[in-house]
Amino acid sequence: MPVSVEPTSVDPSQNGSAPANAGAGASADVTEAEALRPHAEDAFAGELAALAAQDERPRPARWKLSPWAVAMYLLGGTLPDGTVITPKYVGPRRIVEVAVTTLATDRALLLLGVPGTAKTWVSEHLAAAVSGDSTLLVQGTAGTPEEAIRYGWNYAQLLAHGPSRDALVPSPVMRAMADGMTARVEELTRIPADVQDTLITILSEKTLPIPELGQEVQAVRGFNLIATANDRDRGVNDLSSALRRRFNTVVLPLPETPEAEVDIVSRRVDQIGRSLDLPAAPDGLDEIRRVVTVFRELRDGVTTDGRTKLKSPSGTLSTAEAISVVTNGLALAAHFGDGVLRPGDVAAGILGAVVRDPAADRVIWQEYLETVVRERDGWKDFYRACREVSV
């Protein structure tokens, strides 16, 4: 017998395996200005409302925007009334179009890529634009239990009255199925394989059995699921072929050009800096370019001019790590400097990102400093700052 689930009738805090978004309800009393990191649907509420008001294209069932408007929300643009939609993803347009189109079908979406390629960022904004709610989230870890994907129990109710509707604690995925919304599963390959396979019935049959009650939850129109995964982390659990077939896989690449990566880092650092009340760093773009150049050269194993081959360290040196290095440097400049982002503010962050293996990576870093950075015109101050923190 199908069963409907009313999410607001359950207190997730009473279950030891509470849904991963259990904290979302607690944020209801926190204003956007107070939140350290507002949800996408809150941070960009104005843009989403403007798109919805001018979006006259057909919308799939229970979608807040049409597929065209969802793509514009992610890629940016200008509406007929002059409203500017800021880009959330800088990359090939076709990738976004395929991802959005997948969500309009009955196939789930798997965003695949190396760490730092904005998989989580894209996942969150897709859910916000499609369903108006990005908080139906399961965070994958090595300890994620099956209950986080299926459902759990309010053990006080279970012991007092036995299995019943009132004792059931729905997972974010179950809530999304019942309400026709988009659920998210982060780091799918870090979840144990037997727990991963819980998704097979959900994605193929669009139903979630509840054998304890002799019932099931059927997905209503509008339901879909976005998962993210990478194959670089230790502890990866490969997806079974049965589960992988249930997904349409979209690979998010690293930024193609240095200019694109500098643009991404600059935008995100500016957004993060505003949320942390950090002053904008004048002339900080030069240091961002240096950080991006160092990361790209060590990541690619060759200098930008192609003349010198380099050894690559063990770290990924992703765009996300570059954003972290620059943000930390901006905080140093604001609180312990003159507010101007300088080489000394980013040097320590770069060292921490590059040297993950103290033995092998330190040798690679020292060699890069002496053979590339030391000889590069206009980089003397950067070389000295990196030498100081490397000693």
Read out DSSP for 14-56?
GSTT--TTGGGGGGGGS-TTT-SS--HHHHTHHHHHHHHHH--
The whole-number pLDDT of residue 116 equals 82
Q: How many structural domains is the chain composed of?
A: 2
For residues 277 and 182, state if they share a domain. no
Q: Is residue 1 part of a domain?
A: no
Which of 8-17, 65-74, 93-102 has the weakest average pLDDT?
Answer: 8-17
CATH of the domain at 75: 3.40.50.300
Specify the pairing of strand 207-210 against strand 215-218.
antiparallel
Distance CA 158, CA 10 (A): 13
Distance CA 302, CA 366 (A): 15
Name the β-bridge partners of 327: none
For residues 219 and 313, state if they share a domain. no
The reported pTM is: 0.84
- Last residue in a domain, options 251, 272, 301: 251
Domain holding 17, by residue range, is: 7-251
For the segment 133-160, what is each residue's pLDDT rounded down to a tens digit?
999 999 999 999 999 999 999 999 999 9
For the segment 71-115, what is each residue's pLDDT rounded down to a tens digit?
999 999 999 999 999 999 999 999 999 999 999 999 999 999 988
Q: 200 pLDDT exceeds 80?
A: yes
The dihedral over CA atoms of 363, 369, 371, 373, expressed in degrees to the nearest 10, equals 160
For residues 201 and 274, state if they share a domain. no
Q: Are 100 and 64 in contact (CB under 8 A)?
A: no
